[in-house]
Amino acid sequence: MTPESTNHLSEEALDDVLIGLGSAESHAHLAECAECRAQVKTFRGDVALFNASSLAWSRSRMPRHRASERSRVRLHAASMGWAVTAAALVAMALGIWHHHPAKATRQANTVQTQPSDSEAQIAQDNQLMQAVNAAISPDEASPIEEYKMLESPHLPPKAHSKKRMK
Amino acid sequence: MATVTLSTLRIASVQHPRLESALAERAGVISELDDIDELVRLHQARIRRFVTCSTGDPDLAETITQDTLLRAYKGRESFRGDCSLSTWLTGIAINVTRDHMRSGRYKFWKHLKASAVDVHEMASFLPSEAVSPERRVLAKERIKEVYVVLESLSYNQRTIFLMKFSEEMSVDEISEILGMAVNTVRTHLHRALKAVRSRLGAKI
């Protein structure tokens, strides 16, 4: 794994060391070669820096996340408010729309459900009305009878007016 | 492998006292898994970091992290204890990420590129060791270089690199979690390492 020309670890051997699969020969070389050791150390140092900063960054996201969660909750509450308002408006509109047809239907139902007047009831009502009329004006002659309008039903109204004026 | 339960471990520990430590460890993990708050406190940041660097999308990573922890909590009975809890969680995170990537919503948001990691912000979270201004500037540059070169890798190369060097998983564990042959994992690692080392080496 140690090329004779350079006396350093090959790229593949160095990668194997970094991965944790380095051979005993590679480790023996590393113990003696400061340059290869420096390469390993530099890589591990950079990765450690990256890991530490990225983890610290991730931890810092926690409060922001909670803040955004609160914002989401507020947004959710606002959305719910709008939804409730919209639902109330729709319910009102539906109520108004349903109000008139319902009334008409109720009216129609009322007419249909009313019992029709019987012939006897109508005759009784007529008798009552005639009795009332007789009680109000028992001796007065009707204008129709006075002018015998019923006897000359074909007389034109205008001629009848002129006759009356004479 | 059969699922290891506390009762089986207790019976085994009576017969084999050496298993007492395994029982204690297992009980600790179970109690950690049973407490969702503890699970979040101990593992959320690490999973979020892994998924963010893997997908390059912090918002998506937030969703995946929460899904991962929820899925782990719901499926805690299926934890067999044949790997560390963090390895098990990373495996779940990878599966959840795959599910999201297959969904049309991921493709839509990826197309919009609505969210991306602010690498300058990430690099500003330096460990306290880098105290001098010169060292801080240099360290920031190195962190940015690592992130930029990781972005240039394929998803598999990047994920495998992170599993190995950030999550400190073995090649065998990576192979098992990804369902990939060990040699394939090694090939991805070699390619990723070549890219990272050449980029970082050029900047030295």
- pLDDT band, very low/low/confident/very high, at A96 (cuts 50, 70, 90): confident
Residues B15 and B81 in one domain: yes
Domain boundary among B80, B97, B116: B116
Which residue in chain A has the smallest CA separation from B49? A58
Q: Give the pair of three-digit tokens for residue B152.
A: 């240039």
In 3D space, the residue among B40, B58, B54 whose CA is nearest the CA of residue B97 turns out to be B54
The predicted model gives B99-114 an average pLDDT of 68
| Contact predicate B14/B47, CB 8 Å | no
Q: Give the pair of three-digit tokens for residue B103.
A: 């969904």
pLDDT for B105 = 64
- pLDDT band, very low/low/confident/very high, at B29 (cuts 50, 70, 90): low
In A, residues 37-76, which contact B (CB 8 Å cutoff)?
A: 39, 42-43, 46-47, 49-62, 65
| pLDDT tops 50 at residue A5 | no
| Contact predicate B60/B54, CB 8 Å | no
| pLDDT tops 60 at residue B2 | no
Distance CA A40, CA A28 (A): 14
The answer to whether the Cβ–Cβ distance between A58 and B193 falls below 8 Å is no
B86 exposure class (CB count in 10 Å sphere: 0-12, 13-18, 19+):
middle
Residues B82 and B141 in one domain: no
Number of domains in chain B: 2
Distance CA B150, CA B119 (A): 12
| A149 vs B56, more confident | B56
Amino acid (one-letter) located at A121: Q
| pLDDT tops 90 at residue B128 | no
Distance CA B136, CA B129 (A): 9
Residues B75 and B137 in one domain: no
Q: B57-80 pLDDT, tens per residue? A: 898 899 999 999 999 999 888 888
Mean pLDDT of chain B: 83
DSSP string, A12-51: HHHHHHHHT---HHHHHHHHH-HHHHHHHHHHHHHHHHHH
Q: A10-66 pLDDT, tens per residue? A: 999 999 999 999 999 999 999 999 999 999 999 999 999 999 999 999 999 875 545
Residues B107 and B22 in one domain: yes
Residues B112 and B150 in one domain: no
Residues B104 and B169 in one domain: no
Domain boundary among B116, B134, B156: B116
- pLDDT band, very low/low/confident/very high, at B39 (cuts 50, 70, 90): confident
CA distance B25 to chain A (A): 26
Q: Give the pair of three-digit tokens for residue A156.
A: 């034109």
Distance CA A47, CA B163 (A): 12
Q: What are phi and psi of B174, to 5 degrees?
A: -60, -45
Q: List the domain range (segments joined by +) for residue B137.
A: 118-204
CATH at B34: 1.10.1740
Residues B5 and B106 in one domain: yes
CATH at B122: 1.10.10.10
Domain boundary among B64, B95, B116: B116
Percent of chain B with pLDDT over 90: 46
The CB density around residue A135, as the number of other CB atoms within 10 Å, is: 8
Residues B91 and B146 in one domain: no
Distance CA A54, CA B56 (A): 12
A41 exposure class (CB count in 10 Å sphere: 0-12, 13-18, 19+):
exposed
Residues B104 and B125 in one domain: no
Q: Work out the widest C-alpha separation in chain A, in whole angstroms.
A: 156
Which residue in chain B has the smallest CA separation from A13? B190
Closest CB from B49, B123, B186 relative to A55: B49
Question: Count of alpha carbons within 13 Å of B14, Cβ hemisphere only?
Answer: 5
Q: A110-154 pLDDT, tens per residue? A: 444 445 567 888 888 888 877 777 766 545 555 455 555 444 444
CA distance B90 to chain A (A): 15
The answer to whether the Cβ–Cβ distance between B171 and A20 falls below 8 Å is yes
Q: How far is CA A13 from the centre of its chain?
A: 65
The predicted model gives B87-113 an average pLDDT of 80
Residues B136 and B108 in one domain: no
Residues B76 and B127 in one domain: no
Number of A–B residue contacts, CB under 8 Å: 90
Residues B29 and B124 in one domain: no
pLDDT for A100 = 57
